[in-house]
Structure 1
């Protein structure tokens, strides 16, 4: 069968149903920067398997603690020296949220082989991110990033 005669599959996820026109599909988002640490609607509603509001808050606290430790060791993090940061295994986006600064931005990468797909959580936090298979070339040159964070990445790919 020719490709032009093949029935097309739906590839766009529909918005969740709402009961009135004043409701926001998916859930109300807090204003930025408050939404960096507020539980995103998809976590609050239980849409992300294995992630509860409690585990989300624990993740936030862990990353705040780690980033504070990083800042004690490397005082340049808050100086504006690192403007472009790559998080190679972003998880819930806690590292980027803990770094919150107008002096920098973080590209959050969700590995395609990650156990949990949390890119939507990253977006609902007001952060940016992409999917990527680290066995393939990355679309931007890694040296364009001033700091590369790879927490847990090598464990994901140890059998590749």
Structure 2
């Protein structure tokens, strides 16, 4: 197991916190994580971290207009399938819900440590594989850019079927991706008896990235007709 554990950086004195000091909660959610401050993640700076926080504030504001029950406590168990820096979880921190953050195993950047340093929970996941969790675990799933990552790795139908398994009936999914991919997703989810609707990007209709909001309907199989 030792090879799977990342050691903390060496501390130069007994007063120094190995790995970097962390803020108290809830300030910790928006404070610059130590590994970003140290430049440990290539391409991610403190400025980019701050910009990402602002992006997610705008996105959640947009989501609240689209899904009026988002801020009313209807959703308790939330999943972010492509969490990146944990900005979605941070933007939802003031609401009575918890977010499980997933960093795709195929992602270009390993940002799970940043999520931990922000005070959130998370793990890695290959979305071409089944997720180790109970059926109907989550009320709300956010899938931003997930299908762009996996469209050439496996059949996206299998990913959607796994999402259907872990989403409770009448739960909601927010997809963010290209129009081409979202049209494919809607075609598949229609056959899964989900109801969905396209929405414009929060920046306006000219952004090529679109939003698809889908709801898993509650349905049961029809009883067999008796033959006379």
TM-score by length of 2: 0.65
- The one of 24, 35, 39 equivalent to 1:31 is 24
Contact 2:79–2:140 (8 Å) recurs in 1: yes
Kindly report the root-mean-square deviation, in angstroms, between the aligned alpha carbons of the 2 structures. Answer: 1.4
Change (3 A) 1:14 1:69: same
Q: Distance in 1 between matches of 2:132 and 2:79?
A: 12
Alpha-carbon spacing, 1:10–1:148, altered in 2? closer, same or farther (3 Å): closer
Q: Structure 2: which 5+ residue stretches go unaligned?
A: 154-228
Choose 1 or 2 for highest CA Rg.
Answer: 2
Of 98-107 and 9-18, deviating more is 9-18
Count of aligned positions: 153
Q: Which residue of 2 aligns with 1:108?
A: 101
TM-superposition CA deviations, 1:31-62 (whole Å, max 9, x none): 11101111100001100111000111111100
Matched, 1:16 2:9: yes
Of Structure 1 and Structure 2, the greater strand share is in 2
Shift of the 89–142 alpha-carbon distance from structure 1 to 2, 3 Å rule, reads farther
User: Which of 1 and 2 has higher RCO (CA within 8 Å, sep 6+)?
Assistant: 1
Aligned-pair CA distance for 1:143: 2.2
CA shift, 1:75, in A, is: 1.9
Moved beyond 3 Å, runs of 4+: 8-11
Structure 1 residues without counterparts, runs of 5 or longer: 1-7
Question: What's the counterpart of residue 87 of structure 2?
Answer: 94
SS at match of 1:10: helix
- Check if 1:51 corresponds to 2:52: no
